[in-house]
Each structure stands twice: as C-alpha cells, then as structure tokens.
Amino acid sequence: MLKFWPTTIIFLFGLLAFFIFQSTFNLSFWYLIIWMKLFAIIQFCGAYFIGLNFHLISINRINTNDKKVVLTFDDGPHANTIKVLEVLKKHRVKAVFFIIGKNIVDNERILQQVVAEGHQIGNHSFSHHNFIDVWSTKKVTNDFETCQKLIEHYQPQSKLFRPPYGVTNPNIAKAVKTLGLQSIGWNVRSYDTSIKHVEKIKQRVLSQLKPGAIILLHDRLDFMPELLEALIPTIKAKGYEFANTI
C-alpha cells in the first residue's frame, strides 16, 4: 500500500533522474508533466480517502468477522443529537459520537447525556475549520489538544479521533501522533450531508454493509432520527448486531 514518505521520495528521485538524463536521451517534457500529474493524483487520493492509510493509520473497520457493525456520528453535540439519542435508546443501540469542541458550549447537558447513556465520544477537532488541512502542525496540534481536554472532561479514557472532513496530511498525522490519539475512519460512507434523501441514504448504506462495518453519519442533520428509524431495524433484520465500541 502506498505511503506518503516513500511516494514522495520516489517522486523526487524520478524528478532528479529526468533532469540528469533529459539531455542525454532527449526526453520529452511530457514525461515530466505526466510524472507530476501522477504524483498529484496520488497525493489527492491519499489525503481524501482516509481508508488508504496514506498519511496515518486509521481504524477503518472493527476487528471482527461476525455480523457486527458500528454507527458513528460526526459534528455534534447539536440540538438534534437529543432526538438521535432517543432513537438509539429505543432500539438499544450504542454508537460513537465524534465531537466538535466549539459545539460543546451551550450543549454541555447534551454531551453529558451522550456519555451517561453509554455511548463513546471522540475528538473531531475544536474548530472544524474549513482550512484546517492547510494549517501548520503547531496550529493543528493546539486545535486538537483543546478539543481533547474538553472530551476527557466527559470521558477521561477517550483517545478516539476523526479528522475533520476525513482529510489527512503530514501535519494532521504528526498532531495525532503527538497527542497519542487513534484515528478512526470508516468503510461505509452514507453521504448524508449531500444526498439528503432518507430512502436513498438507507439504500446506499445497506449496499455497502459488511461484517465489521464502520458507518459514517451526522447527528446534526434534521432527518437523522427518521433515517435511523428506517435503517436500524433493517440492519438488524439482515442478521447484524450493533457493536458498542470500536
């Protein structure tokens, strides 16, 4: 599997080789352009697809061959989180909530309820800033650490982390390592923030379902309780159980 540093070193050696042999073998600069485009594509895919483990090792499925899956929710706590908790409690399902630190303000009771009802919580950055993936290592680390301190106030043992937007890079990888966090990805992406149609999202999730699946959802969405009411019983009807931990 491709990794950031080996790929970068190979790319640099390729550049060096091109300029060394370009005049000797009259190499076309199209080779250089193709080489650079290939590197750019690999870098983009490595950053965007967390399951590739390009920049850092993430847990992208739970370690089981049994028919068990886990629900994960990003971006809370939110007023809608309360409704999500009601559905989970009704169906006796535990989940993992990845928390944005700044959202805890004025939502402390909601986060307390999440923990009190037996769910895991994890770090989803403090700011979830639009440009966090281009921040310096120091700034990223400070942001993650600020959220981590808040998270540990509610669940001291938590070391789970999910990168904002699921994007990874060398700075984020270094911050995660410095703080001793465990990156959590997914292997079932619902695209619930873009599809916004309950039945279509349900079918998308079901089509990807497999033993050990980590399902990505967002508890802030207004239709999430409705989606869960349709999704959870169907998953159970297919013989799956919901794991209570990653």
Residues labelled as active-site residues:
74, 218
Question: Cα–Cα distance between 17 and 138 in angstroms, integer?
Answer: 35
Kindly report the three-state secondary structure assignment for every residue of the chain: CCCHHHHHHHHHHHHHHHHHHHHHHCCCHHHHHHHHHHHHHHHHHHHHCHHHCCCCCEECCCCCCCCEEEEEEEEECCHHHHHHHHHHHHCCCCEEEEECHHHHCCCHHHHHHHHHCCCEEEECCCCCCCCHHHCCHHHHHHHHHHHHHHHHHHCCCCCEECCHHHCCCHHHHHHHHHCCCEEECCCEECCCCCCCCHHHHHHHHHHHCCCCCEEEEECCCCCHHHHHHHHHHHHHHCCCEECCCC
User: What phi and psi, each to the nearest 5 degrees, are found at residue 4?
Assistant: -60, -55
